[in-house]
Amino acid sequence: MAERITKAEVVKVARLARLELTGEEIERFSTQLAAILDHVAMLERLDTRDVPPTAQAIRLEAPMREDEARPGLGRDDAAAPAPAWEEGCFAVPRIIAGDEK
């Protein structure tokens, strides 16, 4: 059987998922994901050309409400669990290249 997922694909997916994987994890996930994908391949046996997808089982319409301001969490409460908070903002590493030393 053709390989369901290659190591290169695992590396690509890890990058999309923002997960830094070790070499050992890449090996292991390649094998395990291939086994799981082998199992889910059984879905190919079913003809679903005229079947609509189900995103959610109770078939609710998206509810509407008045566009009114309501109290939110508040800045102090939002800041409390933050790993880094500076001048009223979540602080993160530099994302725009500039005058780096």
Q: Which residues of 13-42 are buried (b: 16+ CB within 10 A; e: fewer)?
A: eeeeeeeebeeeeeeebbeeebeeeeeeee
Rule CB under 8 A: which of 20-49 touch other proteins? 20-21, 25, 29, 32-33, 35-36, 39-40, 42-44, 46, 48
- Least distance to other proteins, CB of residue 53, Å: 3
Among 1, 2, 54, 99, binds other proteins (CB under 8 A): 54
Among 2, 55, 88, 101, binds other proteins (CB under 8 A): 55
Detail the DSSP E strand segments found in 14-86: 85-86
Nearer to other proteins, 2 or 43 (CB): 43
Asked if residue 58 lies in contact with residue 42, where contact means CB atoms within 8 angstroms, the answer is: no
Nearest to residue 3, comparing CAs of 34, 41, 36, 24? 34
Among 2, 23, 63, 69, binds other proteins (CB under 8 A): 63
Please state, in angstroms and rounded to a whole number, the distance separating the CA atoms of residues 38 and 2.
Answer: 10
Please state, in angstroms and rounded to a whole number, the distance separating the CA atoms of residues 87 and 79.
Answer: 11
**Which residues of the chain form contacts with other proteins (CB under 8 A)?**
5, 9-10, 13-21, 25, 29, 32-33, 35-36, 39-40, 42-44, 46, 48, 51-58, 60, 62-63, 65, 73, 77-78, 80-84, 90, 92-95
